[in-house]
């Protein structure tokens, strides 16, 4: 498993690599500029994103995408295939939502375009097999996740899992993670816009100032939550899907904090016990 994960580090196209480096540099900049978070109310619920916050996700997608571009190497260069696939995925998000099944359908659609609808049953079979391979990758928790969540739970703080993705796929990952018992509520969301978070808060019967979100995506886990008046902590991950990349306009927000790892989050909680209960 670890070797697959490490291997995925090597497969970025130069464009993706450049994006990734910019992102990391930008995140470091944000971190050094971050004010100390100020919480003036009591937090009743901490919600965690799942993919690339609790467990590895995006590197596996990139690994499958590399295999996909290899399948189509006779038709177009890798970068061009990546670009066309992203265009298809972006166009289809509102139809399929986030997750592996939509990814597979977009891979098939893009392949049909690239190969100009030749007789390519075999190609489609191979793409479907790639999708099943992606669904079946073993679950890899990020460092410190299990220990940190268990410690937070022991302190009596309510925790929620709030993730996008395919329902069955995310349920399977959660079950395989061994983290199920840490959470008081699981929310698998079709999107993570401000109105989606508002619905979640209504369901949980908490006010924005009682809600803290922790996640790796500025676009999905940070900005919409801050816009509601809630609190958000960013734990950047080294690989971010291009679709999720946005400029972080939150760096001066007193309800925002950027940290390096979930273990650092535990330290933040230890040092700020007055935020809870």
Distances (CA, A) of 73 to 70, 77, 151, 246: 5, 6, 48, 30
Piece in contact with Mg ion (CB under 5 A), picked from 98-106, 214-222, 245-253, 260-268? 214-222
Closest to Mg ion by CB, 110 vs 217, is: 217
What is the 8-class DSSP label of residue 178?
A: T
Q: How far apart are CB 183 and Mg ion at their closest, in Å? A: 16
Nearest residue to Mg ion by CB is: 51
Touching Mg ion, residues 33-72 (CB under 5 A): 49, 51-52
Structure tokens at 274: 């007055």
The 8-class DSSP code of residue 41 comes to S
Supply the minimum distance, in Å, between the C-beta of residue 99 and Mg ion.
Answer: 12
Task: Write down the least CB distance from residue 165 to Mg ion, Å.
Answer: 9
CA distances from 195 to 64, 70, 122 (A): 32, 40, 42
Q: How far is the CB of 236 from Mg ion (least distance, A)?
A: 11
What minimum distance in Å lies between the beta carbon of 239 and Mg ion? Answer: 10
Element (H, E) at 227: helix 223-228
Residue 190 to residue 22: CA distance in whole angstroms: 28
Site size toward Mg ion, by CB under 5 A: 5
From 216, 239, 248, 253, residue interacting with Mg ion (rule: CB under 5 A): 216
Pattern 151-170, Mg ion, x by CB under 5 A: --------------------
Dihedral angle computed from the Cα positions of residues 95, 100, 106 and 112, in that order, rounded to the nearest 10 degrees: -140
Residues that bind Mg ion (CB under 5 A): 49, 51-52, 216-217
């Amino acid at each position: 498993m670890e070797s697959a994960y490490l291997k995925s580090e090597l497969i970025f196209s130069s464009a993706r690599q450049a994006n990734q480096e910019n992102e990391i540099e930008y995140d470091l900049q944000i971190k050094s500029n971050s004010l100390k978070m100020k919480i003036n109310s009591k937090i009743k619920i901490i919600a965690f994103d799942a993919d690339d916050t609790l467990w590895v996700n995006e590197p596996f997608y990139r690994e499958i995408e590399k295999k996909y571009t290899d399948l189509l190497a006779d038709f177009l260069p890798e970068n061009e295939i990546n670009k066309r696939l992203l265009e298809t995925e972006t166009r289809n998000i509102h139809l399929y939502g986030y997750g592996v099944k939509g990814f597979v359908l977009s891979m098939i659609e893009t392949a049909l375009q690239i190969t100009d609808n030749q007789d390519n049953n075999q190609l489609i079979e191979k793409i479907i097999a790639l999708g099943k391979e992606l669904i079946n990758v073993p679950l890899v928790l990020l460092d410190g996740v299990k220990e940190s969540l268990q410690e937070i739970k022991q302190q009596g703080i309510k925790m929620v899992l709030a993730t996008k993705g395919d329902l069955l796929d995310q349920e399977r990952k959660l079950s395989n993670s061994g983290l199920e018992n840490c959470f008081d509520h699981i929310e698998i969301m079709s999107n993570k816009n401000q109105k989606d978070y508002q619905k979640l808060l209504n369901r949980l019967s908490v006010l924005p100032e009682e809600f803290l979100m922790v996640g790796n995506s500025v676009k999905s886990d940070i900005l919409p939550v801050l816009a509601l008046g809630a609190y958000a902590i960013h734990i950047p991950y080294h690989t971010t899907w291009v679709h999720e990349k946005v400029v972080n306009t939150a760096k001066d927000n007193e309800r925002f904090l950027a940290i390096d790892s979930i273990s650092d989050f535990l330290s933040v909680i230890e040092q700020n016990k007055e935020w809870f209960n």
